[in-house]
Amino acid sequence: MISKAIERQRGFTVFEGAVAVAIFGVALAFATPKITNAMREYRLNIAMRQVVDTLKRAKMQAISESKRSGVAIDVGGRRIGLVTYQDDGVTVDRIDYIPLPTGIIFQRPGDETAAPEGVTASGVTSFPTKNGVYVQDFNTRGFPAVSSGSDVLSIFLGNDRQHRAITMTSVGGVRTYRFENRTWHNTRAGSTSGS
């Protein structure tokens, strides 16, 4: 009777504990890269959503206040902002910047063979430069102020491994793309672009 009570209280041996730790270590070694890649992709998708939301906010602000608004991109500072103009429509009242998620930068892939549909710019954005910052304005009707009706605005995001692109037509239509196998894929339609 005493021996059964001692057996129940025994617990794990050092060998059993070492085997459990080894199994946990092997499982962790296989899972860590997948978790890291998933977090990188998650942050990149959050940044893409952040850019799209800022573009839409600028459009809506221009319409609701019936005055020019804009979107500013500070490439070096890794941030995007909503530009509010004073009533004269020329003087910037303020820029409300939002930083990109950790590890995300404005970046274009080095091995792309062609740009997303309609994009002719070669940089990380096609926005015009004003005082060292890229700024795209929207008129009082919410349309991007572009030089030609066929212009497609573009913004590229990346984390050195994965890339996303956001495009906007001259009438304000927004599309998003992911870069895979050296080709841009429209994230909504499932089609490819620039193949």
List pLDDT tens digits, range 96-124. Answer: 999 999 999 999 998 888 888 888 888 89
- Report pLDDT for 93: 85
Residue 8, pLDDT above cutoff 50: yes
Average pLDDT, the chain: 86
Domains of the chain: 2-193 (3.55.40.10)
What pLDDT does residue 131 have? 80
Residue carrying the six token digits 């089609």: 191
Are residues 177 and 167 in contact, defined by beta-carbon separation less than 8 angstroms? Answer: yes
Q: How many helices (H) and strands (E) does the chain have?
A: 2, 11
Q: What pLDDT, in 10s, does the model give residues 46-99? A: 999 999 999 999 999 999 999 999 999 999 999 999 999 988 878 888 999 999
* CA distances, 58 to each of 54, 109, 141, 143 (Å): 6, 27, 11, 10
The closest alpha carbon to 138, from 61, 64, 68, belongs to 68
Residue 9 clears pLDDT 70, i.e. is over it: no
Distance CA 47, CA 39 (A): 12
pLDDT confidence tier of residue 45, bands split at 50, 70 and 90: very high
- Look at residue 146 in the predicted model and tell me its pLDDT: 81
User: Which ranges of the chain does DSSP label H, i.e. alpha helix?
Assistant: 2-9, 14-65
